Structure 1
Amino acid sequence: MNNLTTQQTIRVSKLALMSFISFFGLLMMYSNLTDYPANYEYVAHILSMDTTRDKLRYGYRAITSPMLHHRIYWLIITLEVIYTAFCLMGTYQLYRQLNASTEAFHDAKKYALIGLLIAIFVYYICIQVVGVEWFNMDQSEAWNYADWATQILDFIFPALIYISLKNEK
């Protein structure tokens, strides 16, 4: 442990953060694929806006087609698979370049950064912007995951900034 430098610790911390996010992505994929009916029900209620307070006022925004519910849910699952795959590749690339030059380690971040950006798209654009702002998910007592998405973003966005910094030598 005495031979571990601050710069090596920074590199290891970036690798660790990516492994945490990759693990989270794997768990999300597993949950969505193995418990499809329960997660589909969530998506269907949000899209249908059947549990929101101002359903009559904003009902024109609702998507009530079960076929579209399934397709949108599969789009979300696909995006989760893609961001997890990029995060896993990024984690592996960081691991491979852990003791390489500063330039090589920095270049190894590209897959990780792409994965993190896609994750931000899923949890910010899909859930926070579309789910909350368009489908009024925050007005549903039973089907409101806005706080959950915020907690994920509160981890992923700073991780994106930290990992992208070129401060390791």
Structure 2
Amino acid sequence: MFSATSAARWSKTLLLASVALFFTLVVFNNTTDFYSNYQFVQHVLSMDSTFPGNRAMWRALHPPAIQLAFYLGIIAWELVNTVLCWVGAVALFRAHNLPAGVFTQAKRIGIIALTAGLLLWLVAFLSIGAEWFLMWQSKQWNGQEAAFRMFTVEALILALLLMPEPAPAP
């Protein structure tokens, strides 16, 4: 039988590994099917599907080199996040049976990884994409729902990871 401490540690480890798996698949998809999501970035940055006549069109970025740089930046951020999540999950796995202080120290990389993921969704997609480039106005090229979903998932896992370990049973 699992103790409460062991179950909590497995939960934290497996959920962090699940985020690592998610980012692994995202990076895989963005590199093996490069142009599918590159089109998304192109349309968001060019603002070509926002409301007709909006007064913010001066924000649009049309140069392909800038659009490509944005997309490569997102992929790089996702790749770094992937590595951090896997390293964090392995650190938690290795510290699973060690004293609470050691397990707490092992959480550091996972905390950094989940924070980096939250920043990706909040800064790149919800702030820059949705608000600056008015992605919310597009019916076809609106990634807010997916970004919010992933922000929420990672935030909940981060909150769980930040929780202190249960005290061992006497």
Whether TM-score is above 0.5 comes out as: yes
Asked whether the equivalents of residues 102 and 168 of structure 1 are also in contact (C-alpha less than 8 Å), the reply is no
User: Where does residue 51 of structure 2 map in the other structure?
Assistant: 53
Equivalent in the alignment of 2:5: 7
Change in Cα spacing, 1:69 to 1:55, as seen in structure 2 (3 Å) is: farther
Find the aligned partners of 1:38 and 1:25 in 2 and give their Cα distance: 17
Which residue identity is paired with 1:45? H
- The CA distance in 1 between the partners of 2:141 and 2:166, in whole Å, is 43
Question: What runs of 5+ residues in structure 1 fail to find an aligned partner?
Answer: none
Structure 2 distance, partners of 1:71, 1:89, is: 27
One-letter amino acid of the counterpart of residue 64, structure 2: P
Offset at residue 144 of structure 1 (A): 0.5
Deviation at 1:167, TM superposition (A): 2.2
How far did residue 165 of structure 1 move? 1.7
- Alignment-mate amino acid for residue 98 of structure 1: H
Q: What is the aligned-residue identity percentage? A: 29
How far has the Cα of 1:54 moved from its partner? Answer: 4.7
* Deviation (angstroms), 1:55: 5.0
Number of aligned pairs?
Answer: 167
Give 2:127's aligned amino acid. V
The alignment partner of 2:55 has SS state of: helix
Per the alignment, residue 72 of structure 1 pairs with 70
Q: Matches of 1:168 and 1:114 in 2, distance apart?
A: 22
> 2:19 matched to which residue of 1?
21
- Name 2:150's counterpart in structure 1: 152
TM-aligned CA distance change 1:74 to 1:55, over 3 Å: farther
Q: Distance in 2 between matches of 1:156 and 1:19?
A: 12
Over aligned residues, Cα RMSD in angstroms? 1.0
| TM-score, normalised by the number of residues in structure 1 | 0.96
Q: Distance in 2 between matches of 1:41 and 1:91?
A: 33
Moved more, 131-140 or 47-56: 47-56
- Distance in 1 between residues matched to 2:96 and 2:150, nearest whole Å: 26
